[in-house]
Amino acid sequence: MKARVTVTLKNGVLDPQGKAIEGALRSLGVEGVESVRQGKMFEVEVATSDPERAQTLLKEACERLLANTVVENYSIELL
């Protein structure tokens, strides 16, 4: 089963890379962008066809490695 895990910084956590992207867009003349927050996206294939088992495996992967849960949120989407 394939899944997509998206990891983003929690609201209120400083995002210097997002600010740099925001500034670069402005310098390139891209109008209308108010703010940018950057994150990470993982495409993961798990060795199960059971959605509940896949969620459990992916949650463990996020909690143990993929996300720093002190400053990041994550979401899991089964594809």
**Domain segments of the chain as ranges:** 2-78
Backbone phi and psi for residue 27, each to the nearest 5 degrees, phi listed first? -65, -25
Is residue 70 within 8 Å of 13, Cβ to Cβ?
Answer: no
pLDDT digits 0-9 by tens, 63-78: 999 999 999 999 999 9
Contact (CB, 8 A) for 31 and 74 = no
Span 22-38, pLDDT tens digits: 999 999 999 999 999 99
Q: What is the CATH T-level fold of the domain 2-78, as seen in this structure?
A: Mth169; Chain: A , (3.30.1280)
Provide the whole-model pTM.
0.85
How many CB atoms sit inside 10 A of residue 69's CB? 13
